[in-house]
């Protein structure tokens, strides 16, 4: 059994049990009262009052080595090295008080040329199972059987300890929660929140900083590939709730990953070893692959379960709309293991437009691709962040603003370079509202959205006839197989034409206001909305 100093930090007298398998972690979680076993075999766990990320409580250590590389502001908020030391001391003191801690050792990144070695220390067994599922265990098939391991990053999860008033005063904060990250020390400290997604997103943030200097474009996207054509790789960009996981789980295609990837010299590769899917309103009919992936070894977060039959109720959002399931990527039949692929043929930007004015599918010119990527428009959906209870219009640069330490234009330039080099076609796919905005219209049918994706990936839309949206200048197909033509142009779906014009102009003006913060080339800025 490893010593208590296995992290490089002194956590004695606690004992760190490292690299337990799923069965042992599930058994330990149940024994400790951290979760219950559902009828489908999944471990059901609760995350307390934080059922989503806490971005307002995330801070970044400001050091001379990284200061000029960071886009400081609302996302990247600085903390001094002295206060980072205080947060680290609070976390380690709490963990020392535990009899047993759980350690995970593995990787972030399926490409052996561009992976980081990670160590995750948790006080809860289910958090260690989460880490084992979401990251790539050393020696696993997903790691190519490699057991060699170089330790790059450490995550210390003391999420059950909420900062006291005295500790908040020492740190200069007014919240019992802090997620502190140091790009210099390669260290993450989590305090006060049991939401497991903080571990995942902190290491994605690390990759977003480290990988560009390695010649890799880090991306907040899912990816899959045609089973009969390894060159037919597709990427799906989008924030939480826009459909990255749902649309990439396709029985006709092999899943590479559902959320975070790198695009390097060899092609694309998954950062993770698992999937982290929203499961509110999940059904076997609508998302059969995800439904079948929920079994022993997977983790359900904040899902209501029947006390008698232990059956999960995926329609019940009384705890949160942000109910989640974590499962290994190889729980999806035919998934690519290791999770790597060639250079993408199609790149799809997903947006959930709460105004109901963007077309459901549009083909983008290279200039439009850069414009819509740097603006990253979608709607912030209920439950994905603390305090968000209904959809809100939201611009997030590169469809991943909360996870970008560097300036967005650096990532946008990488996308443009790779699109030019490899000839990828870029599309904008609206999975939001039709026939009116949120509260008036309806969400686009998943059946129709899947038909649009199929038409993109089989090449039929590349040769379709197009006309231009009058407000946004987007190139909209006149027909898509399996989709009623009347839903393709948003204006045709609104009963009140004047209301449509007002909503479209409002969103167009919001785009124009948002794009002023970026130094965009004239031809790219001209590719934005016309109104």
Active-site residue, from 160, 200, 201, 345: 201
Active-site residue, from 278, 324, 345, 380: 324
Active-site residue, from 138, 244, 363, 406: 244
- Cis bond before residue 338 (omega within 30° of 0): yes
Is 298 catalytic? The answer is no
Is 396 catalytic? The answer is no
Q: How far is CA 58 from CA 81, 276, 405, in A?
A: 15, 21, 12
Is 240 catalytic? The answer is yes
CB-CB neighbours of 42 under 10 Å: 26
**404, 424, 287: which is closest to 349 by C-alpha?**
424
Active-site residue, from 62, 259, 330, 469: 259
Q: Which residues, in sequence order, are CB contacts of 416 under 8 Å at separation 6+?
A: 366, 369, 370
Active-site residue, from 53, 58, 200, 278: 53
List, as own/partner pairs, every contact residues 5-13 make where C-beta atoms lie below 8 angstroms and the sequence separation is at least 24, other chains included.
6/103, 6/119, 7/103, 7/119, 7/121, 7/154, 7/156, 8/151, 8/154, 9/88, 9/92, 9/154, 9/156, 10/92, 10/96, 11/92, 11/95, 11/96, 11/101, 11/121, 12/96, 13/96
List the beta strands (DSSP E) in 303-441. 324-328, 340-341, 346-351, 361-364, 377-380, 392-395, 425-430, 433-434
Cα 137 from Cα 128, distance rounded (Å): 11
Active-site residue, from 138, 220, 363, 438: 220
Active-site residue, from 133, 222, 240, 323: 240
Cα 63 from Cα 183, distance rounded (Å): 9
Report yes or no: 485 and 478 within 8 Å, Cβ to Cβ: yes
**220, 217, 203, 179: which is closest to 77 by C-alpha?**
179
Active-site residue, from 7, 54, 245, 339: 245
Cα 477 from Cα 362, distance rounded (Å): 7
Look at the block and give the residue holding tokens 């058994």: 27
Is 220 catalytic? The answer is yes
What is the SS3 assignment for 47? coil
Strand partners, 61: 79
Cα 275 from Cα 296, distance rounded (Å): 15
**Residues recognised as catalytic:** 53, 201, 220, 240, 244-245, 259, 324
């Amino acid at each position: 059994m490893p010593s208590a100093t296995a992290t490089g930090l002194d956590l004695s007298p606690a004992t760190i049990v490292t690299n337990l398998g799923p069965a042992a972690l599930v058994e330990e979680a149940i024994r400790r009262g951290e979760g219950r076993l559902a009828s489908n075999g999944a471990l059901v766990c609760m995350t307390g009052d934080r059922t989503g990320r806490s971005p307002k409580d995330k801070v970044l250590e400001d050091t001379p080595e990284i200061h000029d590389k960071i886009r400081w502001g609302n996302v990247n908020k600085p903390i001094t090295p002295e206060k980072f030391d205080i947060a680290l001391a609070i976390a380690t003191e709490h963990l020392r008080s535990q009899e047993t801690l759980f350690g995970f050792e593995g990787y972030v990144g399926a490409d052996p040329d561009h992976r980081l070695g990670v160590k995750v220390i948790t006080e809860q067994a289910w958090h260690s199972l989460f880490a084992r599922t979401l990251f790539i265990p050393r020696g696993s098939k997903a790691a190519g059987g490699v057991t060699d391991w170089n330790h790059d990053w450490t995550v210390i999860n003391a999420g059950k300890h909420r900062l006291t008033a005295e500790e908040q005063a020492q740190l200069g904060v007014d919240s019992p929660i802090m997620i502190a990250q140091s790009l210099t020390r390669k260290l993450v400290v989590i305090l006060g929140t049991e939401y497991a997604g903080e571990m995942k997103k902190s290491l994605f943030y690390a990759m977003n900083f480290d990988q560009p200097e390695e010649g890799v474009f880090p991306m907040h996207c899912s990816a899959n590939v045609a089973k009969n054509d390894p060159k037919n790789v597709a990427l799906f960009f989008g924030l939480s709730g826009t459909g990255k996981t749902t649309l990439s789980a396709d029985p006709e295609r092999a899943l590479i990953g559902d959320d975070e990837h790198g695009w390097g010299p060899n092609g694309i590769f998954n950062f993770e070893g698992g999937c982290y899917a929203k499961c509110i309103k999940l059904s076997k009919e609508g998302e059969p692959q995800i439904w079948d992936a929920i079994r022993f070894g997977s983790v359900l977060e904040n899902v209501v379960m029947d006390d008698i039959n232990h059956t999960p109720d995926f329609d019940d959002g009384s705890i949160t709309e942000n109910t989640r399931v974590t499962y290994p990527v190889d729980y999806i039949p035919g998934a690519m293991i290791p999770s790597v692929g060639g250079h993408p043929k199609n790149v799809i930007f997903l947006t959930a437009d709460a105004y109901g004015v963007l077309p459901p599918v549009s083909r983008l010119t290279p200039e439009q691709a850069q414009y819509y990527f740097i603006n990253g428009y979608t709607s912030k959906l209920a439950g994905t962040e603390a305090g968000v209870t209904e959809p809100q219009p939201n611009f997030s640069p590169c469809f991943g603003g909360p996870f970008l330490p560097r300036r967005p234009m650096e990532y946008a330039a990488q996308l443009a370079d790779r699109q030019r080099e490899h000839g990828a076609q870029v599309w904008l796919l609206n999975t939001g509202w039709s026939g009116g905005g949120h509260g008036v219209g309806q969400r686009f049918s998943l059946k129709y959205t899947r038909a649009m994706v199929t038409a993109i990936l089989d090449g039929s839309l590349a040769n379709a006839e197009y006309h231009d949206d009058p407000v946004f200048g987007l190139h909209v197909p006149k027909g898509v197989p399996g989709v009623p033509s009347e839903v393709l142009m948003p204006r045709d779906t609104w009963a009140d034409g004047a209301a449509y014009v007002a909503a479209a102009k409002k969103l167009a003006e919001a785009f124009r206001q948002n794009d002023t913060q970026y130094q965009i080339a004239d031809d790219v800025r001209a590719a934005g909305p016309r109104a």
